[in-house]
Every structure is written in structure tokens, then in C-alpha cells.
Amino acid sequence: MDLPQRRNESQLNRAYGCFAFLGLVTLPFGLAALLQTLGLMYLDEGSGGLGEALSGWAYYWGILLGGPILLGMLAATAYGIVRTVQFRHLALEVLSVNAIVCGGGTMLLIFAADNASQPLLDYVIGIGFATYITANLLIPAWWFTTGRRRYRMKAPLRNKLPLRSDGAQTQEQVMRSTRLSKSDHYANGNRVAVMRAFLQPPGSFGD
């Protein structure tokens, strides 16, 4: 694997890793909400049991690490979207849309639900949050288990450098074609010189 290919794969690994980080950070909140919805655990104050204890620990850990985690999530989201624009991978595009629509949209709906709680709004929030977590976990898992290997197998096809969508050549294509044309020019010049030397009559080399 050449150096540009390794650099591209490393950047893709970091992009998918950033989205996986988003899924792992939000997974405990999703599991807690699911268990409470199913009636298996109650997180409200005064409910007693394991749920109340975990809710208390989550509150204190949120005070200590909430700011850094939030900044890390924003940085991971920004990095993933930037690499999506760069590589145009379908899976990264799905993750970026998921981060904007399901992630950002869920946050806005949560703030709206605090002002006027509605059953339908809570249902939409649950679906959006579940979709956000599931996509950020499953798609990066696919990349690191299967997608990355397929990306390496298709590397020779990408090295052919197809034209851009507007039909123009990329800068790398122009540089490569220039190098090839120069090498062909030198090779043709050497062949012409050999043919001339072969066709010259004897005794004319000293002229």
C-alpha cells in the first residue's frame, strides 16, 4: 500500500472512530431510557434501588466530565463531517446526516419538550435518539470489520484516477500524464537516435 493510500485509510479510520465515540458515549443514556421505558429500572429520585443509585452517580460524573465530553463530541462530529466532504463515502454521509438530523434534532426536541411535554414529542425523541446511537455503533463496526478490507481491495481501481464529474482532470492526473508524456518523449527520442545511427552509411559518423 503506497503512502497516499495509507494516509487516506488512516483518516477514514479516525473519522469512523469519531462516530463510534459518539455512539459509545451516548449508549449508557440510551440503555437507561430503554430500561426505564420497559419498567425494568426506575431512575427517578426516591424510587430506590439500583436505578436511583446509578442516577446519582451519573449526576456527579456529569458535573465532573460533562464539559470535556461535550467538547469531545462536538470535535468528533466536526471531524467526521469534514472527512465526509473529503472522501464522499456513502457510509460517512449516512453518519453525518444522522449526526445532524437525529443528533442535533433530538437535542432541539428535548429543549422543546421541557417547555411543553407531549407524548408524541417524547416518542419522536426516543426514535431519533435510538437511531443516532444505533447508526454510530453499527456503521463504524461494519467499517472496521468489513468495509476497510473492501476499501483496500479496491485501491488498484482508485489508482486509475477517473475524471471529475465535470470531465476535467484532477491535479494529480495532470502531473501523472505529464510524467508519462515526458518519459514517452525520451523513449521515442532514443529510438529515433538508434534508427538514425543504424541507417547512416559507413564512414559518415565522423562528419
Structure confidence at residue 205 as a pLDDT band (50, 70, 90) = very low
What burial class does residue 157 get, using C-beta atoms within 10 Å of its C-beta: 0-12 exposed, 13-18 middle, 19+ buried?
A: exposed
Higher pLDDT among residues 151 and 63, named by residue: 151
Half-sphere exposure of 175 (CA within 13 A, CB side): 3
Structure confidence at residue 46 as a pLDDT band (50, 70, 90) = low
The gap between the terminal CA atoms of the chain, to the nearest Å, is: 53
Q: Is the pLDDT of residue 29 over 90?
A: no
Report d(CA 188, CA 196) in Å as an integer.
12
11 contacts 65 by C-beta, under 8 angstroms: no
Report d(CA 143, CA 141) in Å as an integer.
5
Q: What is the pTM of this model?
A: 0.68
R_g of the chain, CA atoms, integer Å: 29
- pLDDT tens digit sequence for 4-26: 888 999 999 999 999 999 999 99
- pLDDT tens digit sequence for 88-140: 889 999 999 999 999 998 888 888 777 666 778 888 888 999 999 999 999 99
pLDDT at 125: 86
- pLDDT tens digit sequence for 151-202: 888 877 666 544 444 444 455 544 555 554 444 444 455 554 545 555 555 5
Q: Which of 122, 104, 134, 142 is nearest to 27 (CA)?
A: 134
pLDDT at 202: 55
Report d(CA 130, CA 141) in Å as an integer.
17
Report d(CA 133, CA 164) in Å as an integer.
35
- Residue 63 C-alpha from the chain's centroid: 30
Q: For residue 87, what is its C-alpha cell?
A: 472522501
pLDDT at 33: 76
Higher pLDDT among residues 74 and 38, named by residue: 74
